[in-house]
Amino acid sequence: MIFSKITGTGSYTPDQVLTNQDLEQRVDTSDAWIQARTGIRQRHVHAPHEKTSDLALMAAKRALKSAGLAPEDVDFIVVATTTPDMVFPSTACFLQAKLGVTRGPALDVQAVCTGFIYALSIADQYVRSGAAQCALVVGAENFTNLLDWSDRGTCVLFGDGAGAVILQPGNGPGIYSTHLHADGRYAAQLSAPGNIQEGEIQGKPTVHMDGGAVFKFAVRILDQVCREALNANQMTIEQVDWFVPHQANVRIIEATGEKLGISPGKVVVTVDHHGNTSAASIPLALDEAIRDSRIKPGHKVLLAAVGGGFTWGSALLEI
């Protein structure tokens, strides 16, 4: 039986750092409020010339390097993003060209903050079936492009960045399972409700959120989808070495960890220095914890995310 295994990881955050103190100058907020309600201290913001595919390129190059591979080895590219370079072609096609890859499919996945889990699940199916030998899976966001900088309820929460993993076939796990879900009835609670009609932007294309409702749903559903992953593999939470959840709010992460019964020392938290980078948050956190040697080969890692749609999902894997 073929499994897919993560053989390399990489990430990238833009140079510019926006602190809570910087935000105090722009909107009626305070460092104390942001830290107390979200755990965020700072976030990265892309330079005007940096497209989402540029962030993805940096993360992808680092992931390839850590896997000991070259761009020509890649035969499948999937990019999870909510902030594509343009309406079309896909950000994955731009990334493919920038990497110099000329074969295999390249596609974007749109599942907002759950995007990386969706992308990982899709790539896992291709690798396990033998249809791909070397999949590049990226979560990349210039999410600050979607912010209304006068709305203190949302503009303090998000940041930009990219993370990537390489998936290759292996004889053992690898990825034990992925579980994906969606329920479009919740669309209005978290959206960027704009579109293009007759060449003009219609509606307000910046983030609109019912924060309290999203918070409650997130804690309930993250616990549920993690238990689904554990049950499907007859594992207990004690057997998990690391929990790498979507990084939206440290209070959501702590409440979920408590519900699951996982010790806080096994939870990777990066939201303090990245903010919420949507589809990029999990691969950014995963790469950070692998590079600083918290996550080691053989460790079992549980990933879980929830985002607009609503969408939600989990992945249980061994590094």
- Which residues are marked as active site? 113, 246, 276
Site for ligand UT7 in 237-266 (CB under 6 A): 248-249, 252
Please pick, from the candidates 38, 178, 206, 277, the single residue that binds ligand UT7 as defined by CB under 6 A: 38
State how beta strands 106-109 and 76-80 pair. parallel
Q: Verify binding: residue 33, ligand UT7, rule CB under 6 A.
A: yes
**In angstroms, rounded to a whole number, what is the distance separating the alpha carbons of residues 136 and 296?**
21
**In angstroms, rounded to a whole number, what is the distance separating the alpha carbons of residues 135 and 167?**
5
Bridge partners for 166 per DSSP = 8, 136
Q: Which stretch binds ligand UT7 (CB under 6 A): 103-111, 149-157, 162-170, 295-303?
A: 149-157
Q: For the window 163-192, what string marks contact with ligand UT7 as x by the rule CB under 6 A?
A: ---------------------------x--
Q: Verify binding: residue 276, ligand UT7, rule CB under 6 A.
A: yes
Nearer to ligand UT7, 66 or 206 (CB): 206
Both tokens of 317, joined, read 């894997």
Q: Verify binding: residue 113, ligand UT7, rule CB under 6 A.
A: yes
Helix (H) or strand (E) holding 57, with range, is: helix 52-67
Closest alpha carbon to 74 in 113, 126, 109: 126
Closest alpha carbon to 217 in 249, 178, 252, 246: 252
Please pick, from the candidates 29, 110, 125, 177, the single residue that binds ligand UT7 as defined by CB under 6 A: 29
Q: Verify binding: residue 127, ligand UT7, rule CB under 6 A.
A: no
Radius of gyration, alpha carbons of the chain: 18
In three state form, how does the secondary structure of 138-192 look?
EEEECHHHHCCCCCHHHHCCECCEEEEEEEEEECCCCEEEEEEEECHHHHHHEEC
Q: Verify binding: residue 61, ligand UT7, rule CB under 6 A.
A: no
Q: How far is the CB of 135 from ligand UT7 (least distance, A)?
A: 25
Q: How far is the CB of 148 from ligand UT7 (least distance, A)?
A: 12
Q: Which stretch binds ligand UT7 (CB under 6 A): 31-39, 87-95, 140-148, 164-172?
A: 31-39
Q: Which stretch binds ligand UT7 (CB under 6 A): 71-79, 140-148, 204-212, 310-318?
A: 204-212
**In angstroms, rounded to a whole number, what is the distance separating the alpha carbons of residues 139 and 61?**
14
Nearer to ligand UT7, 71 or 211 (CB): 211
Q: How far is the CB of 221 from ligand UT7 (least distance, A)?
A: 11
Both tokens of 241, joined, read 């070495």
Contact 280, 139 (CB under 8 A): yes
- Tell me which residue has tokens 């790539």: 123
**Which residues of the chain form contacts with ligand UT7 (CB under 6 A)?**
29, 33-34, 37-38, 113, 152-153, 156, 190, 209, 211-212, 214-215, 218, 248-249, 252, 276, 307
